[in-house]
Chains A and B, each alone.
Chain A
Amino acid sequence: MGFASTYPGTPSSEIGNILEVISSDAGMYFEFSNNEKVALEVSAAAAVSGVRSFAFMKHVGLNVAADPLMTLAYSGVNGGMLVLTADDPSAHSSQNEQDNRYYASLGLLPMVEPSTPAEAKDMVAEAYAISEELQLPVLFRTTTRVNHARGVVDFKDRQTPVTKGHFEKDVVRFVNIPAYARVNRNVLLEKNKRALDLSEESPLNYTVGEGEVGVITSGVSFTYVSEYISGAEILKLGFTSPLPEKKIAEFVKSKKHVVVVEELDPYLEDSVLRICAQYGISVPVYGKRSGHLPRAGEYSPDTLTGLSGLLDVKTFQDPNPRCDIRLPSRPPTLCAGCPHRGMFAAVKKAVGKRDVVYCSDIGCYTLGVQPPFNAADFIICMGGGAGAAGGFSKATDQLPIAFMGDSTFFHSGVSPLINALFNNHRIIMVILDNRTTAMTGHQPNPGTGRDHGGITTDALDIESLVRGVGAKFVRTLNPYDVKGSTEAFKEAIEYDGVAVVISKCPCPLELKKRKVLVPAMCEVDPEKCIGCGICLKTIACPALSKRDDLCVIDPTQCIGCGMCANVCPKKAIEVKK
């Protein structure tokens, strides 16, 4: 491929982290776009110009990019184009576990699904061949246990990618005004028929094993089936849209019964049932609709035990019982010295007993939901907090306070800000600018500028942007100065209109990675400390604890940010450089 673009989102983030490092040497162009929609559009432009492109994102990111994708299908592409969706069954690092295979049906797009890392690599070549044959973008559907799996992958020689093409104008094809869209809809339906032929003959759909019972499966579920089920013939589907219906009908009709094993929704299963009905096959089909397999959560070998009456499932060892000692929970938490702690502490203090709605967003600051901050009452999607805040301001008498990160602001925070100004919403928008896209592994964003792949750009200034669209109340605060931030936030609460507060302080983890964190340490003076615990209760930094009724600081965790010193009523904590 010659062109790739993404907005980071786990479990797809690591692809971008690698391309950021290797794209120059690989002779290709790569960018972190400011959101998934733009990522899809830039890759679409490359592909219609004849350059093989690759847009990748997490599953919910494809919701953002769905608008261009649905119509790009009408126009099609010239160079091959893959759109990778990283679905997250069990929502390990996501707000939902939606099944993006339905986007392939919705857009009439071909789709492939690898089962292992090695197969994912091989399938890229297959998928580009399909894309170029049909002149359509191909949905490359993965899940967490393919993305965050490791295995032995053999690399072959790669071809030097073509990185420049030429856009040949074709108004009917690329300008989907209603008259042409109606034409292109029929073009797409024709391509879909050809895609069906390709799927019927594709080596990505094959059978293994033998038996009078059949299993139809795809993706990571295939690995569980192939290792833990015996005595059945398995139809392994890798080209899963359109499904090879003749092949499925042939497979099913000779079987005593068939079990469909797939994570999340009954995408394959419903199609198999439809195909059986259409081909007049009366073989029983089991899976989710029959109640044998769950529709929620990711699968594992253990999931197959639900099929023991239908299939020959390997018996597993009886596990040890779970520990009956009460174990403390260990959820992920904001780091020691995380500037979000300071801003949450300041906001809570300034808000006091007022009736507010904390509209949070997607990022590290989502962890502000935990005590003592409890600073998240409503979270839906990227940029969604600020948008909802505007609604709360009109539909309730509560004061909405929206938190969002710098990267989220550039992703989809500008629109709700403009909407709030346009409609005179009474909201406070807190932009937690930690100078990086932290949660997904410290990718650059427009607020940091880029410096990779031989391209450097200047950082965009959030405050100028906010003022530029017309916000009148704008304060940029240092969250390590918790007391000062509290006072400034009180003004924001009193302001009648859209108040924007920018909490500007770099993520210490990012500074550590770049080896530019200035060494410093907070120290407690045991003579002055009265053990009131205010530092612990307001900042709750993991480096702080109480021993013998006095506060102590863990020197292995402390970065010397001084937030605890700032809130100490007895000035018992000092920052030592």
Chain B
Amino acid sequence: MKYAVQIVGVGGQGVLLASMVLGNAAKNMGFQVSMSEVHGMAQRGGSVLSTVRFGDDVVSPLEPVGSADMILGFEPVETCRNIHLGNPSTAVVMNLDPLLPPMVVTGAETYPDVPLLVDFVKSKNDRLVTIDATRIAVEAGKAVAANAVMIGAMAAVKGFPIPVEVLRDTLLEQVPPKFRDLNAKAFDMGYSVASQ
């Protein structure tokens, strides 16, 4: 068995935390894990891509284009930008909350309508789950917990090889104690919404 998740988003959204939670959960399951990401300049609001691969005989830190089992998209445009990392049977979890790039804010570029982006992904993938992670996080207590919502949604994807409890426990181990309740709630809400 091999499983690859491409986590995409914007610097500051918690993509790195999500990949660490997933990587550690996979390690706790006894899988081999190989991950890589490009950061450094990423925290300055740029696009971020983190690859997490786990299973048997996994050594490469990169996944071939098109072979991802799942794309976990923290932001609509970033999800579309990386859609070629998957194929028609790749599971796509897509947060619907846009983060406007500076070039859009200044009016130099435009941000496409989100429903248009959703339709595009739908036209390429049979397995799209859309989720309003930020709104759910606010409901759970705080917008910053949107990444926990996304991690919860990941656990709900059909065929995802890590049991929901293992992923949940790993997340809660990695967040500061005072944010544990918030993250647990956000994770559960993400899992439940994506399970529907």
Contact = CB atoms under 8 A, between A and B. Distances in A.
Main secondary structure on A side of the interface with B: loop
A10 B37 CA distance: 13
A320 B42 contact: no
Nearest to B62: A300
Contact of B84 (A301, A319, A546, A556): A319
A330 B74 CA distance: 14
B103 interface: yes
A329 B103 contact: yes
Contacts of A320: 66, 83-84, 86-88, 90, 124-125
Contact of B66 (A115, A316, A335, A545): A316
B35 interface: yes
- Of A145, A441, A509, most buried by chain B (CB within 10 Å of CB) is A145
Contacts of A10: 40
Given A149-B34, A319-B86, A330 B105 contact: no
Interface in A136-189: 144-146, 148-152
A332 B41 contact: yes
B117 interface: yes
Contacts of A324: 120
B64 interface: yes
Interface in A308-364: 316-335, 364
Contacts of B80: 323, 325, 327
B2 to A, nearest CB: 9
A93 interface: yes
B180 interface: no
Contacts, number: 164
A148 B37 contact: yes
A537 B45 CA distance: 19
Interface residues of A, number: 60
Contacts of A319: 65-67, 84-87
A339 B63 CA distance: 39
A439 interface: yes
Contacts of B44: 332-335, 364, 367
A224 B46 contact: no
A226 interface: yes
Contacts of B37: 148
Nearest to A543: B105
B112 interface: yes
Contacts of A149: 34-36, 61
A372 B106 CA distance: 10
9 contacts: A319-B84, A319-B86, A320-B87, A323-B120, A325-B117, A327-B77, A328-B77, A330-B46, A332-B11
Interface of B: 10-11, 20, 23, 27, 32-47, 57-67, 77-78, 80-81, 83-88, 90, 100-112, 116-117, 120, 124-125, 143
Given A150-B34, A223-B59, A328-B103, 16 more contacts: A11-B40, A145-B36, A148-B36, A149-B34, A223-B60, A300-B62, A302-B65, A318-B66, A318-B87, A319-B86, A325-B116, A327-B77, A333-B44, A333-B102, A335-B45, A439-B41
